[in-house]
């Protein structure tokens, strides 16, 4: 049995000399790597909040980018048309102040109606030959987006006056409620 006793002593020495340092090194490594970690629940909440904010910013940027790209493409097309564009018209000499615009597929038109005589003011109405201007009203015009005035079944446009580079008009709905609106003069042919 002394043989077994000696083997047992060797085994215990091996455990103390080799296994103890390995165990301590493992614990130190584990502690070292876990120091940089945060609470996993707070990380999830933080990531969810950041994700929501990122999504909202992306949606706003996407919508802005969509209208920017529509503007770029359609404005370039209008610019290429030069003076060969379709215009709205009003026949004041006939005693009628109604503003008309009939769509002409051979001539482009893109006419915004603004809340003030300023192209940077709120866009209230859009008359355009371009489908990407009309579908889903991408500019959020309160009075809508239409191909021509015949499509505006809820109201009519009436000429009021000319103010500098703008035509002042009014929209009159079926209940006789009116809204003042301004168009760039270059898009309205007054006769």
pLDDT exceeding 70 applies to what percent of the chain? 66
Q: Residues in the chain, how many?
A: 191
pLDDT tier at 128, thresholds 50, 70, 90:
very high
Sign of the dihedral through C-alpha 56, 61, 62, 67: positive
Q: What is the pLDDT of residue 16?
A: 55
The CA R_g of the chain, rounded to the nearest whole Å, is 36
Q: What is the pLDDT of residue 69?
A: 79
Q: H-helix or E-strand containing 156?
A: strand 155-163
pLDDT tier at 175, thresholds 50, 70, 90:
very high
What is the chain's mean pLDDT, rounded?
A: 77
pLDDT tier at 83, thresholds 50, 70, 90:
confident
pLDDT tier at 27, thresholds 50, 70, 90:
low
Q: H-helix or E-strand containing 113?
A: strand 110-114
Sign of the dihedral through C-alpha 145, 147, 149, 152: negative
Neighbour count for residue 181 (Cβ, 10 Å): 24
Tokens of 51: 């994700």
Phi, psi at 21, each rounded to 5°: -65, -35
Biggest CA–CA distance in the chain, Å, is: 130
Tokens of 22: 């390995």
| Secondary structure of residue 105 in the 3-state scheme | coil
Each domain of the chain, given as residue ranges in start order, spans 1-31, 88-190
The residue among 132 and 40 whose pLDDT is bigger is 132
pLDDT exceeding 90 applies to what percent of the chain? 49
């Amino acid at each position: 049995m002394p043989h077994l006793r000696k083997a047992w002593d060797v085994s215990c020495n091996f455990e103390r000399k080799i296994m103890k340092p390995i165990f301590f090194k493992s614990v130190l490594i584990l502690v070292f790597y876990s120091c940089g970690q945060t609470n996993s629940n707070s990380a999830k909440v933080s990531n969810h909040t950041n994700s929501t904010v990122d999504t909202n910013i992306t949606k706003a940027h996407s919508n802005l980018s969509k209208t920017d790209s529509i503007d770029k493409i359609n404005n370039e097309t209008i610019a290429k048309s030069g003076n060969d564009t379709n215009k709205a018209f009003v026949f004041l000499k006939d005693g009628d102040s109604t503003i008309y615009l009939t769509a002409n597929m051979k001539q482009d038109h893109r006419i915004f109606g603004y809340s003030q005589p300023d192209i940077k003011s709120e866009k209230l109405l859009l008359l355009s030959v371009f489908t990407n201007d009309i579908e889903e009203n991408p500019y959020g015009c309160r009075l809508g987006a239409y191909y021509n005035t015949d499509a505006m079944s809820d109201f009519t446009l009436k000429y009021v006056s000319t103010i500098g580079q703008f035509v002042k008009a009014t929209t009159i709905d079926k209940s006789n409620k009116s809204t003042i609106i301004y168009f760039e003069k270059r898009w309205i042919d007054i006769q």
